[in-house]
């Protein structure tokens, strides 16, 4: 079992990473969060597989447990579901000294984390991610949130967990489309600052059919280390943390336009391809770099472009947390392993979307 320390100033914590370590949830929750009651939030797909293991571990470590099972998919990440969750937590009698345990993918983690951050103005949260995307990204760093009608993650908080427990064997049971979808975020980490990781992912593709746990542990650990090093410098996304948003402005727009039928990782992957094409055409990176990124995304069965009118995509992209009046911060690609955040005008964003909506070969 690996331990990765996340030394953020507001609340340092550890990420435990290994195979078959769900029984560590109870001991680690007791060690880091304390309290007497634990409220487990999971979804209809994950709870039948791992809910009892986690609840049993918590009870064995002195917790009185209760739980709530939510639906699956991005559409349940909304204010109505948040209110329902908070009412159930209150009905279970939790105090601010108690703990919420998020057992599931990124949707569960974001929703439960947001609930923990506002319940009684903040109780404890333990993240137990079961999807690859949640393991490498959303469970670490303290971002929580829900979607509004106008866009993705428009309501949320920064709220660090007490601990994160990652049991890699959970990846055996997720749908193959979800596993592949998660690769979008893994590729993102390699593109922003690890050329070696990018080449490994392209030369030896990750596959759910034949999981190599030692290799998987190494890749997940590397992604977490990259995020840790960035978040330690900039916990609340005022500076360098913005590079983690590569592909997200356009990706979130695609996600909303698809009515959340396309997964987050797939949309981020497509968003990175839009940015790569634009950067090549505008002379920010080479055409070879853009093509290599597109080929890597395509090799995992993820989209490189989305069939949508560029003007519609632009209008969706305007509703973004990274917008500041008539400017918006966009992550541009210089080469594999090197990106930069640049404030651009909304007109420049429109031009980027227009130019990147045309394939490179045209």
Instruction: Say if residue 109's pLDDT is above 70.
Output: yes
Question: For a pLDDT cut of 90, what percent of the chain falls above it?
Answer: 93
Average predicted confidence (pLDDT) for the chain: 96
Which of 172, 202, 225 delimits the end of a domain? 172
Q: Are residues 22 and 144 in the same domain?
A: yes
CA–CA dist 226, 339 (Å, integer):
14
Confidence band (pLDDT; 50, 70, 90) for 48? very high
pLDDT value at residue 129: 98
241 catalytic residue (yes or no): yes
Would you state the structure tokens that stand for residue 338, as one six-digit string? 């090197």
Q: Are residues 135 and 6 in the same domain?
A: yes
CA–CA dist 106, 130 (Å, integer):
9
- Residue of 24, 74, 81, 237 marked catalytic: 237
pTM exceeds cut of 0.85: yes
143 catalytic residue (yes or no): yes
User: In this structure, what are the phi and psi dihedrals at residue 158, rounded to the nearest 5 degrees?
Assistant: -100, 120
- Residue of 30, 37, 152, 227 marked catalytic: 227
- Residue of 245, 277, 316, 350 marked catalytic: 245
- Residue of 241, 284, 322, 350 marked catalytic: 241
Assess if residue 276 is contained within a domain. Answer: yes
Q: Are residues 166 and 63 in the same domain?
A: yes
Assess if residue 164 is contained within a domain. Answer: yes
Is-contact 265 184, C-beta < 8 A?
A: yes
- Residue of 37, 124, 143, 222 marked catalytic: 143
CA–CA dist 65, 56 (Å, integer):
9
Residue range 243-290, pLDDT digits in tens: 999 999 999 999 999 999 999 999 999 999 999 999 999 999 999 999
24 catalytic residue (yes or no): no
Is-contact 95 83, C-beta < 8 A?
A: no
- Residue of 152, 222, 252, 284 marked catalytic: 252
Instruction: Say if residue 25's pLDDT is above 80.
Output: yes
Q: Please give the distance of CA 183 from its chain centroid, rounded to a whole number.
A: 11
5 catalytic residue (yes or no): no
Which of 172, 192, 212 delimits the end of a domain? 172
237 catalytic residue (yes or no): yes
Q: Are residues 289 and 147 in the same domain?
A: no
Q: Are residues 199 and 233 in the same domain?
A: yes
185 catalytic residue (yes or no): yes
- Residue of 222, 264, 284, 322 marked catalytic: 264
- Residue of 77, 124, 188, 248 marked catalytic: 248
252 catalytic residue (yes or no): yes
């Amino acid at each position: 079992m690996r331990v990765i320390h996340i030394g953020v100033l507001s609340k340092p914590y550890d990420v435990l990473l290994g195979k078959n370590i769900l029984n560590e949830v109870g001991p680690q929750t007791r060690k880091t969060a304390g309290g007497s009651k634990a409220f487990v939030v999971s979804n209809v797909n994950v709870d039948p597989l791992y809910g009892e293991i986690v609840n049993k571990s918590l009870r064995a470590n002195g917790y009185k447990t209760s739980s709530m099972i939510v639906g699956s998919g991005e559409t349940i990440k909304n204010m109505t579901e948040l209110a329902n969750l908070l009412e159930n937590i209150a009905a279970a009698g939790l105090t601010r000294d108690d703990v919420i345990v998020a057992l599931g993918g990124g949707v569960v983690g974001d929703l439960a984390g947001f609930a923990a951050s506002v319940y009684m103005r903040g109780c404890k949260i333990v993240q137990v991610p079961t999807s690859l995307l949640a393991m490498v990204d959303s469970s670490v760093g303290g971002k929580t949130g829900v979607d509004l009608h106008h866009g993705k993650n428009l309501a949320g908080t920064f709220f660090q967990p007490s601990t994160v427990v990652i049991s890699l064997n959970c990846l055996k049971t997720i749908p193959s489309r979800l596993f592949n979808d998660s690769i979008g975020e893994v590729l993102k980490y390699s593109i922003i600052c690890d050329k070696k990781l990018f080449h490994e992912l392209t030369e030896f593709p990750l596959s759910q059919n034949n999981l190599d746990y030692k290799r998987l542990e190494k890749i997940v650990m590397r992604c977490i280390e990259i995020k840790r090093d960035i978040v330690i410098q900039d916990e609340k996304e005022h500076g360098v943390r913005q590079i983690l948003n590569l592909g997200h402005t356009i990706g979130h727009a695609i996600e909303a336009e698809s009515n959340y039928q396309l997964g987050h990782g797939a949309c981020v992957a497509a968003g990175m391809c839009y940015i790569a094409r634009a950067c090549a055409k505008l002379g920010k990176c080479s055409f070879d770099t853009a093509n290599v990124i597109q080929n890597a995304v395509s090799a995992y069965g993820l989209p490189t472009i989305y069939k949508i009118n560029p003007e519609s995509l632009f209008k969706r992209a305007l509703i973004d947390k990274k917008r500041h009046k008539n400017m918006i911060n966009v992550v541009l690609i210089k080469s594999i392993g090197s990106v930069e955040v640049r404030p651009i005008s909304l007109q420049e964003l429109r031009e980027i979307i227009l130019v990147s909506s045309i394939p490179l070969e045209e």
